[in-house]
Amino acid sequence: MSDPFSIPIRVYIEDTDAGGIVYYVNYLKYMERARTELVRSLGYDKPAIPEQGLLLVVHSAEVQYRRSAILDDALQASAAIGKLGRAAITFEQKIWRGNEIICEGVVKVACVDDASRKPCALPESIYQALKAASQKHECR
Q: Which residues are catalytic?
A: 17
| CA–CA–CA angle 118, 34, 60 (5° rounding) | 35
Q: Please, what is the angle between helix 25-41 and helix 124-136, to 10°?
A: 110
- The one-letter code for the residue type at 136 is K
d(CA 89, CA 131): 10
d(CA 93, CA 101): 10
Beta bridge partners of 5: 79
